[in-house]
Structure 1
Amino acid sequence: MFQKFQKNRKGFTLIELMIVVVIIGILAALAIPRFMKASAKSKTSEAQLVLKQIYTMERTYKQQFDTYSADLNAIGVEVPPNAKYTYSVLAADQTTFTAQADWAAPGIDDDATPDTWTIDQDGTILHTSNDLTG
């Protein structure tokens, strides 16, 4: 009678279920950090795009007024309504300007490390403080 009960048994053993849970845990441990890093990198693309827009608008302003402007509104930059960065022109005169993008929240990956980008009159974009590498 005991052997007949064993043959008709359907389903998985506890060991089999535990092995599946361990495998899923290992896969998640490998995938989640990669996903988080890819997600954080995608967030930085906003800064680069808006800084390129600032550069273009500053060049246009310079052609019209023979100087760069420290006022984003004066050059006509439109920051996205849900911008993840705050934008400013740090310095502007007749020959140079430097604009900056600062992560508006504590950090891209929710730590205290800031994420900061700059662009200058030559169009050089620098990642001056990188939250992704600490």
Structure 2
Amino acid sequence: MNSRNFRSWNRQGFTLIELLVVIAIIAILAAILFPVFAQAREKAREVTCTSNMRQIGLAVRMYVQDNDETYPIFQAYNSGVGAPSHLGVEVELEPYTKSTNVFLCPDDSGDPFTGGKNYVTVYGSSYRFDRACFSAIPGVSLQNDAPIDLTTPGHREGVVTDAMFESTAETRIMRDEMMPWFAPQVDTTDKYGYADPAQLYYKQWHPRGGGLIFADGHAKFTTSETTFLNYNETPDGAKFPACWTACD
């Protein structure tokens, strides 16, 4: 390389100040775009979650139609997931869903109580089954591997049928286990029961809200606590907090 060519090449290089300006521009663009990308990813998870719940809702409707308009037997939070002895509503619905993968919320990251294991691994479903909207059978329905005490005031027992619903379109039968408004820093009075210091098991899943499945089979993602509370949580139209402890 002769001296003329070297001087020409040298004049085309970046100065330190120019490099710093470029780096600063890239940093600014990254700060602007990364949150946008994160929001887009979360929106995609919300869509996937809602799609899963629609499939579950359709499976419930097919089960009901095949069983004289009777809803599945309530079974929840039981151990032995994957074993033939495991009991869960998701097991009853598997012939219709063809897979238990639809019971996994893409934002399910478990909670402190499960050691960070997702709810599908530990319990079989990310989605909580509303006890009041499924058939609670004495001596058969189990929760946490123990028979449900159906003699406690507020608990109901027996077969649930379509004819019992005041409004199938307005009654939620399943929901995401975690909702943002269940967080201890939001629910400071512990009305939802997730903030008990002796049994702290809340962990944020979806940051904006959560998915719901209704008795008529449709599903939706809600971002409003007010909307969540306005839906029925029992076939006869009761709303929170009338049946929360006994039925949700």
Q: Using structure 1 for the length normalisation, give the TM-score.
A: 0.72
Query: Unaligned stretches of 5+ in structure 2?
Result: 75-88, 109-125, 135-159, 166-171, 179-201, 225-248
Identity of aligned residues (%): 25
Q: CA deviation at 1:43?
A: 1.3
The Cα RMSD (Å) is: 2.9
Which residue matches 1:52? Answer: 54
Query: Unaligned stretches of 5+ in structure 1?
Result: none
CA contact (8 A) 1:88 1:100 kept: yes
Cα 1:17–1:82 change in 2 (3 A) is: farther
Q: CA deviation at 1:105?
A: 5.7
2:70 maps to amino acid = T
Higher RCO (CA < 8 A, seq sep 6+):
2
Mapping 1:1-134, distance limit 5 Å: 8=7, 10=10, 11-65=13-67, 66-69=69-72, 70=74, 71-76=89-94, 77=97, 78-80=99-101, 83=104, 84=106, 85=108, 86-90=126-130, 91-92=133-134, 93-95=160-162, 96=165, 98-102=173-177, 106-108=204-206, 113=207, 115-129=209-223
Pick the structure with more strand per residue.
Answer: 1
Cα 1:50–1:18 change in 2 (3 A) is: same
Which whole-Å CA distance do the structure 1 matches of 2:103 and 2:64 have between them?
28
Q: Using structure 2 for the length normalisation, give the TM-score.
A: 0.42
For residue 100 of structure 1, give the secondary structure of its aligned residue in structure 2.
strand
